[in-house]
Structure formats: C-alpha cells, structure tokens
Amino acid sequence: MGFKPENYKSNEIRLTLRLPERLHSETSIYANRHNISLNTLIINCIEYAMNNKED
C-alpha cells in the first residue's frame, strides 16, 4: 500500500512548525505537483506515520 495524500477536514488546532529549508522545498514541490496544500500533505504524512509506526 502506497502513500496517497487526500484532503483532510476535521476539527483543527493551529500549530507553528519549523522545517529545514530542504524539507520545506521538497514538500512544497510535491504538494504542488499533486494539487494539494502543504498543510494537507503534512497532515497526511503525520497520519501515515502514526498508522504505520512500530510500537
């Protein structure tokens, strides 16, 4: 099963996130290519990591 980002709507909180410049650039490019917001991509990445973590 691969990673496929999807739009995410739910209750939300605001969070300031500091990213290394390289990671910001790579994620921005990916989000633009897939026509999603950077916020949506980050939420999907976190959700994927949490659902696939080893406990």
- Per residue in 1-54, pLDDT (tens digit) is 577 777 766 677 888 999 999 999 999 999 999 999 999 999 999 999 999 999
- Residue 25 falls within a domain, yes or no? yes
> pTM value?
0.77
Where do the H-state alpha helices sit in the chain? 21-33, 38-51
- Residue 28 falls within a domain, yes or no? yes
Q: Domain limits at 42?
A: 21-51
Task: Return the residue matching tokens 């973590």.
Answer: 53
- Residue 8 falls within a domain, yes or no? no
Of residues 51, 54, 53, 46, the one with CA closest to residue 17 = 46
- Based on the structure, what is the number of domains in the chain? 1
